[in-house]
Amino acid sequence: MAELSPHDQARILSEALPHMQRYDEETIVIKYGGHAMGQEETARNFARDVVLLEQTAVNPVVVHGGGPQIEIMLKRLGIKSEFVGGLRVTDKATMEIVEMVLAGAINKQIVSFINNAGGKAVGLTGKDGNMVVARKALRHVFDPVTKKDIAVDLGFVGEPDKVDITVLTQILGRELIPVLAPITASAQGETFNVNADTFAGHIAGALKAKRLLLLTDVPGVLDKSKKLIPELSVDEARRLIADGTISGGMIPKVETCIEALEQGVEGVVILDGQVPHAVLLELFTDHGAGTLIHR
């Protein structure tokens, strides 16, 4: 912006007005992935963009992950972990580290960056106000020896069972920005780690969000020639999963999108959070960013 003339800056702001009006007083849930966090400058730019959303009468809710940061801490402490079906097998020792990193270091760093950018962020977890009560996650994997699916115990890994947005409704619309770590409790009081995409999808569904943005480290959903698909309906997304175009780690992300849409979210976007100002590009420009999935 510093290289643009004052007239160009004013024109850009004016052209953003219709987009700002579209999201006026609407809730936008942003899943901020561990890989998308990138370097400190990238994180600070993200924080500024979130503050800008709040200043333009949007109600942003940030849900963050932190897989890479958890892995670094586990290695530092000499704790080994394994993954099954894309989910970390989490024993009690690992769960303590996961909670420390997500609810502690990462959550408070994001809160600090948002506050330093002029916002008023509040760091929470799914435990607060029983926001998200989880049940133990169950997964099956194919055993090539027995040729059968076998149940795998993932330890303290959970899936959302109930969502209570009482705390969030008290925060939103009051110039406060909730920053949520996907740490939850079960009905029996056990602590569970929930996949951040899944957590964000359930929060967005419960809030009937206008948009759920899944910031990751890829441009969005790609076709078989590796070109970005700008827009998909739910039926089209399911066909691409069935024919193998959508594969690997993108499958659970798209399935999260579909589930959020079925819960009442208007649209879900998968986009590259490492692109500068990706959130603003998606919401406030005609260009958009990533892949929009809609009902």
Say what percent of the chain tops pLDDT 90. Answer: 61
Strand order in the sheet with 177-181: 121-125, 177-181, 59-64, 27-32, 211-216, 267-272, 291-294, 231-233
If phi > 0 it is left, if psi is from -120 to 50 it is alpha, else beta; for residue 118 that is left
- Asked whether the CA dihedral 218, 223, 226, 231 is positive or negative, the reply is negative
Of 54-58, 96-100, 179-183, 228-232, the range with the highest mean pLDDT is 179-183
DSSP 251-295: HHHHHHHHHHHHTT-SEEEEEETTSTTHHHHHHHSSS--SEEEE-
Provide the pLDDT for residue 126: 97
Strands 83-84 vs 59-64: parallel, antiparallel or unpaired: unpaired
User: Considering only 11-15, 111-115, 205-209, which range has the smallest mean pLDDT?
Assistant: 11-15
In whole angstroms, give the CA distance from residue 95 to residue 221: 31
Q: Per-residue pLDDT averaged across 177-190, rounded?
A: 96
Provide the pLDDT for residue 86: 58
Q: Which residue has the higher pLDDT, 140 or 227?
A: 227
Provide the pLDDT for residue 35: 64
Q: What is the pLDDT confidence band of residue 256, given thresholds at 50, 70 and 90?
A: very high
Domains observed in the chain? 26-282 (3.40.1160.10)
- Rounded to 10 deg, the angle between the 250-262 and 234-242 helix axes is 150
Q: What is the pLDDT confidence band of residue 89, given thresholds at 50, 70 and 90?
A: confident
**Is 240 exposed, middle or buried, given 0-12, 13-18 or 19+ CB atoms closer than 10 A?**
buried
Provide the pLDDT for residue 289: 84
Q: Which two tokens mark 200?
A: 């964000």
Provide the pLDDT for residue 142: 67
